[in-house]
Amino acid sequence: MTITGSQCRAARALVQWPRDKVAQTAGVGIQALAAFESGAGDLDRPAIDRVRRALEEGGAVFIPENGGGLGVRLKFNRKDVRAINKWEGEGGPAGEDDVWPA
């Protein structure tokens, strides 16, 4: 499924990721992503697919044209997305956490 610039912008807002995080994760330029989101430029199909996958990994679900129009929603609620982002930012290998007794 291909996505539009508007869907990309909405998904990025829903998962609360800045443009540079999406661009880096998808391997596209920040300016190219900004142009795609605003409708001032296009990305090639492989780049759009990488952007879509990056946003899906962040919790976005893209809704195809189904009579009600294109859309995007969260796979997780906002609280879950914030918690996931916090967990991902903690760093360190899992073997070093103190959750389980030795």
Domain limits for position 63:
5-82
- Each residue's pLDDT tens digit, 30-57: 999 999 999 999 999 999 999 999 999 9
* 46 within a domain of the structure (yes/no): yes
Q: Residue 63's beta-bridge partner residues? A: 71
In this structure, are residues 72 and 63 in contact, taking their beta carbons and an 8 Å threshold?
Answer: yes
Please state which of the ranges 20-29, 34-43, 64-73, 84-93 shows the lowest mean pLDDT: 84-93
State how far Cα 55 lies from the chain centre: 2
* 102 within a domain of the structure (yes/no): no
Mean per-residue pLDDT, 57-86: 84
Number of domains in the chain: 1
* 100 within a domain of the structure (yes/no): no
Report d(CA 89, CA 66) in Å as an integer: 36
pTM: 0.74
SS (H, E, C) 65-90: CCCCCCEEEECCCHHHHHHHHHHHCC
- Each residue's pLDDT tens digit, 74-92: 887 777 777 877 877 776 6
CATH number at residue 30: 1.10.260.40
